[in-house]
Amino acid sequence: MGARKGIIMAGGTGSRLFPITGAVSKQLMPIYDKPMIYFPLSVLMLTGIREIAMITTPEDQPQFRRLLGDGAQWGLSLTYIPQPSPDGLAQAYLLAEDFLDGAPSAMVLGDNIFFGHGLPELLTAADTKDAGGTVFGYRVSDPERYGVVAMDAKGAAVDIVEKPAKPPSNYAVTGLYFLDASAPDRARAITPSERGELEITTLLQSYLHEGTLSVQQMGRGYAWLDTGTHGSLLDAGNFVRTLQSRQGLQAGCPEEIAFEQGWISPEALHALAMRYAKTDYGTYLLGLLAEG
């Protein structure tokens, strides 16, 4: 088995956020002081993943390239894959099949934000699982908006239902999927849903029915934010602002993660910090060097 590779699904038109996404990709919108895409990217980096595919619309790809480059500044290798039409989340595994080249994957949605003490350990545990898949359940007050986990009396997952009118539980499946190398073949076998999409729920069910899908619960100590509405976009920005100003620590900071992982040198971090010398972000990066 090859090393796990990452996928960030950052396609779509962002139509629910019109008019602000009329000219700019949703995943490039600001979450307080940094682009939204930094947060899912950081999740993959915390897992230890360095080869990552960015799936975007063809017209948005130049903007992502301008922001992220080839990833070398963070010790990463970024591959850009266009999604000509939004045909469902499971389509990502078909688009990225050549990139994956038989490797297992971790896919994160470009508008999902995760926080929590112990998150790296949770990610590492999912990464070490060779066969099958791991997804994460998170308790929400409005499960009808999401794919929802149905559980038996012992708390084991028995089904995943997409946007149910009568949710079987309050646990939504987050937009983070650790799947083995069989994901592209499973995606190819999916029949498009009534809305004409290859549903990620259907893909996950194929693992679940074989007994090879683990559903890990993210408990009270974690925050999972999605940014599907104008209100939730603002809430996420305010959450990050409060967190950072209270603790004096950055959230979703690729430079910090790359430095702590040993992927970039102190000299490289200093060069990155000087690019942002006029901002609190640059000051923070210089502070990392001062702390050693």
> Could you tell me if residue 165 is left (phi over 0), alpha (psi between -120 and 50 degrees) or otherwise beta?
alpha
| Paired residues of 157 in beta bridges | 151
Residue 124 — φ and ψ, nearest 5°? -65, -40
Q: Dmax over Cα atoms in the chain, in whole Å?
A: 56
Residue 81: name the closest of 25, 7, 15, 12 by CA. 7
Per-residue pLDDT of the chain in tens (292 residues, 90 and over written 9)? 579 999 999 998 888 899 999 999 999 999 999 999 999 999 999 999 999 999 999 999 999 999 999 999 999 999 999 999 989 999 999 999 999 999 999 999 999 999 998 999 999 999 999 899 999 999 999 999 898 999 887 777 889 988 899 999 999 999 999 999 999 999 999 999 988 899 999 999 999 999 999 999 898 889 999 888 899 999 999 999 999 999 999 999 999 999 999 999 999 999 999 999 999 999 999 999 998 6
| pTM for the structure as a whole | 0.96
Which tokens hold the place of 263?
A: 């992927």
pLDDT at 60: 96
